[in-house]
């Protein structure tokens, strides 16, 4: 029996991705890029910027050293300058030495990356990474980001390098980045390979829990030389999460279906940062898959009785559009959660492993467990609003709302 729209699938089947096409076009573009000759002319200034990083990364990816036209051209240029014995030669070498100043780090995908020090020009290939850079106060070093990097508003004004899964390598190269940031749970490995080929250092993150989002942010802060801001940010996130944990500890978790994509229905696996975010918000996903983004069968969902459906806004047009439409669909109407309109709608911050995810978690917790946020007795409230200097202020003042709608409105405002 097939319930609802779309193909009948089973929980646990791997999602079929729209990403296939863009991936292919990435490859075509990369091949075109690499065929272009002579690269020394078209790459101009930044040829000098990444002389050996490129070789190093290629050797990691391909298991052998291979020299490009750029490397050969650079070597010839250096030999020529050496031979001339001129002051120019000295300064060119000094310049090259200073560009060699770099630090080898192992990224979260296990790749060894030589990162120039200091990093001054960064391109971000994911909205989560863009948000993280802003949260770390590094926005002035962000020279380019993706079409989907829309938060904070200022990120929309940065030079756009295309999509996260289908970036434009010419645009990226034109920005002469010292470093490109990618995230394993969104970007494609093909993208990393193409940038490696261009000799552009790429650092990949891969947080899979909320704690790892915090540590990954801290590691980036350290690599980019802004440890103090990183520590303060981590402390703030941890403080807010522990406040939440205290409030929610006595309450049983709500059983929820998290909808990543509506058509076909795609949810989350148990080892994703979103599943962990749900747990932090006092919820548990009814989908118990070891795949990260499984396609889910509606028939199975009905059997598992989710108390709430959780949607994030802004993932393509799909989810926001379908939330209301769900109520009218025959298959979905079999769900108590749909008949009773038990929908929790949170911002797309939940889809982005970045510091703002804490706001999405708080928002969801308020929607699922409004009773945990009711007014405290006045004495306690005064104490909480005037903590001793050693303590940080509480994140949420109490809402005092018995009425669920009022609580929801307030919580939504809080996530913005
Ligand atoms: C599941 C999903 C998600 C998941 C995970 C993304 C993902 N891994 O694909 C979550 C919920 C996190 C997500 C978030 C977002 N998504 Co989304 N998502 C999808 C969806 C529904 C399915 C993609 C899919 O099938 N993934 C399964 C496979 C491909 O991914 P995977 O299991 O993680 O495996 C890959 C990686 O592991 C990678 N990999 C393997 N090894 C390595 C090593 C390294 C170093 C690296 C970098 C990668 C890498 O390669 C694997 C195969 O490609 C598509 C729409 C669709 N129907 O296709 C949109 C889609 C990919 N998302 C999209 C968007 C816009 C977003 C958001 C910006 C939404 C938002 N408003 O916040 C965020 C961005 C998150 C961020 N980090 O900033 C767009 C991307 C458009 C584009 N051209 O770039 C799509 C195509 C939807 C759309 N049409 O608008 N999304």
pLDDT tens string 30-77: 333 333 332 322 333 333 333 323 323 332 222 223 333 333 333 333
- The span from the CA of 354 to the CA of 356, in Å, is 6
E-state strands within 236-316: 254-259, 283-285, 294-295, 308-312
The answer to whether position 52 is within a domain reads: yes
Q: What is the SS3 assignment for 311-367?
A: EECCCCCHHHHHHHHHHHCHHHHCCHHHHCCCEEEECHHHHCCCCCHHHHHHHHHHH
Last residue of a domain, one of 53, 70, 99: 99
CB 187 within 8 A of CB 41: no
Return the residue matching tokens 């938060």. Answer: 151
Q: Which domain holds residue 163?
A: 101-226
Q: How many CA atoms lie within 13 A of 67 on its CB side?
A: 10
Is there a domain that residue 222 lies in?
yes
Domain annotation covers residue 14: no
The preferred substitution site among 22, 316, 352 for testing ligand 1, maximizing ligand atoms within 8 Å of CB, is 316
350 alpha carbon – ligand 1 mean position (Å): 14
Do 269 and 400 have their domain in common?
yes
First vs last Cα of the chain: how many Å apart?
Answer: 41
Give the CATH number, domain containing residue 149. Answer: 3.40.50.1980
Distance CA 371, CA 19 (A): 41
Residue 158: inside a domain, yes or no? yes
| Residue 315, ligand 1, Cβ within 6 A | yes
Beta strand 102-106 with 112-116 is: antiparallel
Measured from the Cβ of residue 84, the count of other Cβ atoms closer than 10 Å reads: 11
Closest atom of ligand 1 to CA, residue 148 = 68
- More confident call, 159 vs 68: 159
Atom of ligand 1 nearest to the CA of 316: 90
255 and 400 fall within a common domain? yes
Asked if 378 and 296 sit in the same domain, the reply is yes
272 is a domain residue: yes
What are the distances in angstroms from CA 132 to CA 138, 263, 357, 386? 9, 30, 11, 30
Instruction: Say whether both 91 and 107 belong to one domain.
Output: no
Q: Give me the chain's average pLDDT, please.
A: 75
Q: Is 148 in the pocket of ligand 1 (CB under 6 A)?
A: yes
The 10s digit of each residue's pLDDT in 282-332 is 999 999 999 999 999 989 999 999 999 999 987 765 555 556 677 777 788
Give nearest CA residue, ligand 1 atom 89: 316
Q: How far is the CA of 64 from the centre of ligand 1 (A)?
A: 30
Answer yes or no: do 190 and 110 share one domain. yes
Asked if 276 and 288 sit in the same domain, the reply is: yes
The total domain count for the chain is 3
CB distance 187 to ligand 1 below 6 Å = yes
Cβ atoms 130, 356 nearer than 8 A: no
Q: Of residues 384 and 235, which shows the higher confidence score?
A: 235
Please indicate, yes or no, whether residues 169 and 265 belong to a single structural domain of this protein: no
| Alpha carbons 240 and 47: distance in angstroms, whole number | 46
Give the Cα-Cα-Cα angle 153, 157, 160 (nearest 5 degrees).
120
> What's the pLDDT score for residue 376?
64
Candidate ranges 6-20, 37-51, 338-352, 369-383; pick with highest mean pLDDT: 338-352
Return the residue whose CA atom lies nearest to atom 38 of ligand 1: 188
Tokens standing for residue 226:
């802004």
pLDDT band at 381 (very low <50, low <70, confident <90, very high): low
Give CA–CA dist 227/207, Å, rounded. 19
Distances from the Cα of 42 to the Cαs of 47, 162, 394, in angstroms? 9, 21, 55
| Distance between CA atoms of residues 68 and 54, nearest Å | 9
Contacts of 333 (CB under 8 A, 6+ apart): 327, 339
202 CB within 6 A, ligand 1? no
Same domain, 62 and 77: yes
Flag whether pLDDT at 88 surpasses 90.
no
């Amino acid at each position: 029996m097939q319930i609802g729209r779309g193909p009948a699938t089973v929980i646990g089947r791997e999602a079929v991705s729209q990403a296939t096409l863009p991936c292919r076009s990435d490859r075509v573009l990369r091949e075109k890029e690499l065929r272009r000759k002579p690269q020394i002319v078209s790459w101009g200034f930044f040829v000098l910027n990444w002389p050996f990083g490129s070789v190093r990364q290629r050797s990691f990816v391909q298991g052998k050293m291979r020299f490009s036209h750029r490397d050969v051209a650079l070597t010839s240029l250096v030999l020529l300058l050496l031979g001339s014995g001129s002051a120019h030669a000295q300064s060119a070498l000094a310049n090259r030495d200073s560009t060699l100043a770099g630090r080898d780090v192992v990224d979260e995908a296990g790749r060894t990356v030589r990162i120039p020090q200091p990093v001054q020009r960064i391109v971000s290939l994911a909205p989560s990474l863009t948000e993280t850079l802003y949260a770390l106060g590094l926005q002035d070093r962000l020279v380019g980001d993706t079409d989907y990097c829309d938060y904070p508003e200022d990120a929309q004004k940065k030079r756009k390098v295309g999509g996260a899964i289908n970036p434009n390598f010419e645009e990226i190269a034109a920005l002469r980045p010292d470093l490109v940031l990618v995230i394993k749970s969104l970007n494609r490995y093909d993208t990393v390979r193409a940038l490696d080929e261009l000799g552009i250092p790429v650092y990949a993150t891969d947080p899979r829990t909320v704690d790892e989002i915090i540590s990954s942010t801290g590691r980036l802060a350290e690599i980019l030389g802004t440890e103090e801001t990183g520590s303060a940010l981590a402390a703030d996130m941890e403080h807010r999460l522990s406040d939440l944990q205290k409030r929610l500890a006595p309450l049983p978790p709500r059983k929820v279906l998290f909808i990543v994509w509506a058509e076909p229905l795609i949810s989350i696996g148990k080892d994703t940062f979103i599943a962990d975010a749900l747990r932090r918000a006092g919820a548990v996903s009814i989908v118990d898959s070891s795949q990260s983004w499984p396609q889910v069968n509606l028939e199975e969902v009905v059997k598992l009785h989710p108390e709430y459906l959780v949607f994030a806004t802004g993932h393509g047009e799909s989810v926001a559009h379908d939330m209301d439409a769900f109520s009218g669909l025959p298959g979905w109407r079999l769900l108590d959660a749909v008949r009773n309109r038990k929908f929790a709608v949170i911002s797309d911050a939940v889809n982005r492993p970045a510091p703002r995810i804490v706001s999405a978690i708080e928002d969801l917790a308020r929607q699922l467990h409004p009773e945990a946020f009711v007014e405290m007795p006045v004495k306690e409230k005064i104490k909480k609003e005037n903590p001793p200097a050693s303590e940080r202020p509480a994140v949420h003042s109490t809402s005092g709302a018995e009425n669920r709608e009022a609580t929801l409105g307030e919580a939504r405002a809080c996530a913005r």
